[in-house]
Chain A
Amino acid sequence: MSQGGGIPVAMVLLGVVGWPAGAGAQHLTVGPQAVLVDYREVSSGLRYSGSGFGGVATGRHGKLSAAASVVRLTLDPTDQSTAGAGFKATQLDAWVGYDVASYASVEVGIIRRTADPGFAAQSLGALRVGARSTYDLGPGATVSFRANYLAAPKFSGGGRASFSIDLGLGLDVRLAGRLHGVVDYAFERVNRKTNPGGTGEIDAPIQQTLARLGLGIGF
């Protein structure tokens, strides 16, 4: 996996934390997150479940929006899993979107997940290209649905993926004043194929569901 290209992009995207205040029509939200995660790889016997914590930052300036989330996950094998040990992972997600309508935007971004120890699971890096639809449910509450194609995925164990997608459901509710409740669901499916020893490609799919539950302080 190529690790050098994603980091600078992520740093730039994380710069939304320092989104300039004072310009017109802008919002900035930062806050902590608790995470629930379910991870599967290669076969139904290799499944993990866990939780984690992290932080999220979102920003908006006119038609431009950006979001970044970093979570630290602790995954343990489930009862049905054949895996002997769990692992830890750090996942970075970042998006930059542009509104093409009051309820729709196009977005690009990155995903980067690193497993620790590295051999316990596949580390993943990919670009995101997709769209997001956002609607106001009411005063201070918005719901969103996104679909991202994960382009050019790279894996720590090699291989390729002809089809990778990430679906998401988001909810942002202003609880009181500047305090927001931010929850997000992400379903990730990567059709990874490997060719170990040159004997032909075999399927090694990756599937993850992740729920982020957090609070945000609006600025």
Chain B
Amino acid sequence: MTTRCVGGLFLLAVLAPAAGRAQGVQNATLRRAQQAYDNLEYRQALSLGQAALRERLAGAERARAYEVVGFSYAALDSILKAVDGFKQMVLIDPERQLDPNRVSPKAYSAFDVALRQVLLVRQLRIDSTSFVAGQGAVPIRFMVTQPARVVTRAIGGGGGGGGGGPANFLVDSSAWNGQVNLSWSPRLPNGDPVPAGTYTVVVEARLGQNTFSASQQIRVTHGRVDTLPHLTSLPGYQYLPETEIPPQTWRPLGLAFLYTGGALIGTLGLESGSLGASSKRELGVVGGAALVTGFVMTLRKPAPRPAEGNILYNRLLTEQIARRNADIAKENVTRRQQVQLTVGPPLKTGAPR
């Protein structure tokens, strides 16, 4: 029962990657091989695949033929030959990747062994990015299938990397194996940003006599660094009203009484005894006017008065904003002298050499 289950899973797994591929195949033999594989006729698929390889095939169809041969050998438990088939496949199409969740473990392990037996630079990826020159780098990722001396260069851009012709910038030269993550700071030897233009990032792996290279084009453009806007307010802090209306009181009438009373007392106190009591008509007129005015002012809404605390707070806020704006202005002066480098999307991927 276990054998049946494994067999069923194997069939499903092997069928999955081949499904639908026969439709795009131009070569008749290869198409028949694919159909035979789809019909689980592995021996026939194998012989037809080998026959197709003897015919004249385009690169993609040749890789497809090796893939059918590899899968057929794996299905027939001929692992070493399956590995050979997959090796030929990845040499033609190094970016070919099998999904371990969708192919049989035998086929996948054969594919994995094949990858480790050939020197490849795969999955070269350069992400789009944008940064201020000198403050960022271009991320470069790739995979080397065998331990090898890997030299990564950026070529192009119209000079500046030393010598005449296109610029040639050495990004990295190290021994690597497996996943590699590099970063390239696109600067000239004098520290200036590299000229704008199209560059080709070439990754060349060398192991003894074997070499393999992959490349990808990127576009580097120059731009101005965004300057910071000046502040008109600080988030969370608002200007407060600089005047406040005091509560209504009897103070105006009280003051009028006080001042009028002072004048009255002064008059009474300073009157000369020999001259008799002075006329109060004049004081009555002026004092009455003062009292009426005080009473009216008591009933009126008080005049706004300066709110010292708020004035100080607003002054501090203004000074703080001015200080921040001075810093921003200084920062903007620096930013206007900087160059924003933008690495555009890859234009095309390289082909194996």
A residues with a Cβ closer than 8 A to B are 36-38, 40-41, 43-44, 47, 49, 133, 135-139, 141, 143-145, 147, 165, 167-171, 173, 181, 183-185, 187, 189, 191, 203, 205, 207, 209-211, 213
B339 at the interface (CB under 8 A from A): no
B286 at the interface (CB under 8 A from A): yes
Check if A145 sits within 8 Å of B259, measured CB to CB: yes
25 contacts between A and B (CB under 8 A): A38-B278, A38-B282, A40-B278, A41-B275, A44-B274, A47-B276, A138-B296, A138-B297, A138-B300, A139-B302, A143-B259, A144-B259, A168-B263, A169-B263, A169-B286, A170-B286, A181-B289, A183-B285, A185-B287, A187-B266, A189-B272, A191-B272, A205-B272, A209-B278, A209-B281
Check if A40 sits within 8 Å of B282, measured CB to CB: no
Check if B281 sits within 8 Å of A136, measured CB to CB: no
Check if B272 sits within 8 Å of A185, measured CB to CB: no
Majority secondary structure, B binding face: helix
Residue of B nearest to A80 (CB): B276
Q: A38-B279, A144-B259, A145-B262 are known contacts. Are A139 and B267 too (CB-CB below 8 A)?
A: no
B13 at the interface (CB under 8 A from A): no
When chains A and B are docked, how far (Å) is the Cα of A59 from the Cα of B252? 24
Contact with A along B260-277 (1 / 0, CB 8 A): 101100110011101110
- Give the most central of A138, A170, A184: most B CB within 10 Å: A138
Q: Which residues of A contact B281 (CB under 8 A)?
A: 36, 38, 209, 211
When chains A and B are docked, how far (Å) is the Cα of A218 from the Cα of B274? 43
B283 at the interface (CB under 8 A from A): yes
Q: Which residues of B contact A44 (CB under 8 A)?
A: 274-276
Q: A137-B255, A189-B270 are known contacts. Are A143 and B279 too (CB-CB below 8 A)?
A: no
Task: Specify which of A40, A133, A187, A213 is in contact with B270 (CB 8 Å cutoff).
Answer: A187
CB distance from A181 to the nearest CB of B (A): 8
Residue of B nearest to A147 (CB): B266
When chains A and B are docked, how far (Å) is the Cα of A191 from the Cα of B275? 11
Check if B289 sits within 8 Å of A171, measured CB to CB: yes
**10 other A-B residue contacts (CB within 8 Å) besides A138-B252, A183-B290, A187-B267:** A36-B285, A44-B276, A138-B296, A169-B260, A170-B286, A181-B289, A185-B286, A209-B267, A209-B281, A209-B283
Task: Specify which of B255, B276, B303 is in contact with A139 (CB 8 Å cutoff).
Answer: B303
Q: Which residues of B contact A37 (CB under 8 A)?
A: 282
- Count the B residues whose beta carbon is within 8 Å of the partner chain — how many? 34
Q: Which residues of B contact A170 (CB under 8 A)?
A: 286
B39 at the interface (CB under 8 A from A): no
CB distance from A98 to the nearest CB of B (A): 21
When chains A and B are docked, how far (Å) is the Cα of A136 from the Cα of B306? 14
Q: Which residues of A contact B274 (CB under 8 A)?
A: 43-44, 203, 205
Residue of A nearest to B276 (CB): A44
Task: Specify which of A145, A171, A181, A189 is in contact with B271 (CB 8 Å cutoff).
Answer: A189
Check if A49 sits within 8 Å of B279, measured CB to CB: yes
When chains A and B are docked, how far (Å) is the Cα of A210 from the Cα of B282? 6
When chains A and B are docked, how far (Å) is the Cα of A185 from the Cα of B252? 19
When chains A and B are docked, how far (Å) is the Cα of A189 from the Cα of B290? 23
B94 at the interface (CB under 8 A from A): no
Q: Which residues of A contact B256 (CB under 8 A)?
A: 137, 143
Check if A171 sits within 8 Å of B263, measured CB to CB: no
Of residues 62 to 89 in B, which have CB atoms within 8 Å of A's CB atoms?
Answer: none
When chains A and B are docked, how far (Å) is the Cα of A189 from the Cα of B278? 10
B294 at the interface (CB under 8 A from A): yes
Task: Specify which of A135, A185, A191, A211 is in contact with B255 (CB 8 Å cutoff).
Answer: A135
B128 at the interface (CB under 8 A from A): no
When chains A and B are docked, how far (Å) is the Cα of A175 from the Cα of B29? 112
CB distance from B251 to the nearest CB of A (A): 8
Q: Which residues of A contact B263 (CB under 8 A)?
A: 145, 167-169, 185, 187
CB distance from A183 to the nearest CB of B (A): 5
When chains A and B are docked, how far (Å) is the Cα of A40 from the Cα of B270? 14
Q: Which residues of A contact B278 (CB under 8 A)?
A: 38, 40, 187, 207, 209
Task: Specify which of A139, A168, A207 is in contact with B272 (CB 8 Å cutoff).
Answer: A207
When chains A and B are docked, how far (Å) is the Cα of A169 from the Cα of B34? 119
Q: A135-B259, A143-B294 are known contacts. Are A207 and B271 too (CB-CB below 8 A)?
A: yes
Task: Specify which of A41, A165, A213 is in contact with B285 (CB 8 Å cutoff).
Answer: A213
Q: Which residues of B contact A173 (CB under 8 A)?
A: 293
Task: Specify which of A40, A133, A137 is in contact with B293 (CB 8 Å cutoff).
Answer: A137
Residue of A nearest to B285 (CB): A211
Of residues 227 to 269 in B, which have CB atoms within 8 Å of A's CB atoms?
Answer: 252, 255-256, 259-260, 262-263, 266-267
When chains A and B are docked, how far (Å) is the Cα of A43 from the Cα of B273? 9
Q: Which residues of B contact A138 (CB under 8 A)?
A: 252, 296-298, 300, 302-303
Q: Which residues of B contact A210 (CB under 8 A)?
A: 282
Q: Which residues of A contact B283 (CB under 8 A)?
A: 169, 185, 187, 209, 211
Residue of A nearest to B281 (CB): A36
